[in-house]
Structure 1
Amino acid sequence: MSKQLRQDLTYGAPLAAVAAMLADPAFREEVCERQRVLRHDVRVDSTGEGVEVRIEQVQDAAGIPSFAKKLIGDEITIVQEEHWASPEAGDITVTIPGKPGDMRGTATLAESGGVTTETVDLTVKVSIPLVGGKVEGLVADMLRKALLVENKVGRDYLSR
């Protein structure tokens, strides 16, 4: 089993500006702060024409249903890695270290008329018998909310 998550994030800016924002550690730090994570570590490295992004964040598990909290604990460590081979496309992997599952997919940027849309397309897979599908849905909802916060931060960032 797995769950698909596809989310479009629109920015009123050219593709080059959005790509530069996504490669700015200050932007990534601000997203973590707005998501109210307990702790985070952000690394962004240029690799020739590409960019490598690694975000490790610890979130409070408060508000998570009890069946999932038993599996996760009081805090959730999430590691997000992005490998952007070009400004237009990147591969994304999100893991919860020590837990059975991951999220994998792509992010693409496309510009039309000075407006850039980032499309995030992920497959959420949790390998837990009986409750895996429920956890996949929970994780997909959490990711969607996190992406919407990132979009809001990005719009604010680009308007400065």
Structure 2
Amino acid sequence: MPTPFSEQTRFTAPPTAVHAVLVDPAFLRARAERSGALEHTESVSADGEAVVVTSTRTVSTDVLPAAASRFLGSTAVVEQVERWDPAAADGSRRSHLTLTIRNAPVTLTASSVLAPDGPGSSHRLDGTLEVRVPLLGGQVERAALPGLLQLVRSESALAQEWAAGA
């Protein structure tokens, strides 16, 4: 059964500035480098009025729970696709994110809302992590989720730095 999570970040910048950072290829490269990716690719494309951000990162599994690293090997390829809807009248945006680990039964799905919040904005991410391994999936999810949320927080902090400088 998937493990739910929720994370919220506040920005001093308005949603338009934060969104511009989150889809900036230079930010995406910096995000991958800060995460310790051994290799990475990023792309930003349009699909009608939506903006699609695709990234692939090869990461070391030495920071994962031992059971996961034994299953995955020394590295894992993380593929992430985030689709941003067009801005609403108030400047808010919604996105849908899917993160998978290549050749592993792991999927993170989430939706987010980037909305005005006073003079700045807030970004709320709600989703689930699912590890499809009989009997052990829930244990692996609970062990992996704190690390994934720490990564989300680290990436949010980087986005805050970039948005503050925008």
Same fold, TM-score > 0.5, yes or no: yes
1:114, CA displacement in angstroms?
1.8
Provide the TM-score with structure 1 as the length reference: 0.94
Contact 2:98 2:107 (C-alpha < 8 Å) held by counterparts: yes
Return the alpha-carbon distance in structure 2 between the equivalents of residues 133 and 91 of structure 1. 23
Q: Give the match for residue 114 of structure 2.
A: 109
1:152, CA displacement in angstroms?
1.2
| Structure 1 segments of 4+ aligned residues over 4 angstroms from their partners | none
Contact 1:10 1:151 (C-alpha < 8 Å) held by counterparts: no
Query: How is 1:13-28 mapped onto 2 (pairs within 5 angstroms)?
Result: 13-28=13-28
5+ residue gaps, structure 1: none
Q: Give the match for residue 96 of structure 2.
A: 91
Give the secondary structure class of the aligned counterpart of 1:148.
Answer: helix
Q: Percent identity?
A: 28
> 1:132 is matched with which residue: 108, 130, 137?
137
Give the secondary structure class of the aligned counterpart of 1:86.
Answer: coil
1:20, CA displacement in angstroms?
1.0
Once the two structures are superposed, residues 64-122 of structure 1 have per-residue CA deviations (whole angstroms, 9 ceiling, x without a partner) of 22212111110111101011122410110000111113111201111121221111111
Return the alpha-carbon distance in structure 2 between the equivalents of residues 49 and 65 of structure 1. 40
Q: Give the match for residue 77 of structure 1.
A: 77
Q: Give the match for residue 60 of structure 1.
A: 60
Q: How many residues align?
A: 160
Contact 2:76 2:102 (C-alpha < 8 Å) held by counterparts: no
Provide the TM-score with structure 2 as the length reference: 0.91
Q: Give the match for residue 90 of structure 2.
A: none
2:31 is aligned with 1:40: no
5+ residue gaps, structure 2: 88-92
Aligned partner letter, 1:65: P
Q: Give the match for residue 142 of structure 1.
A: 147
Once the two structures are superposed, residues 34-83 of structure 1 have per-residue CA deviations (whole angstroms, 9 ceiling, x without a partner) of 11111110111123321000010011111322212111110111101011
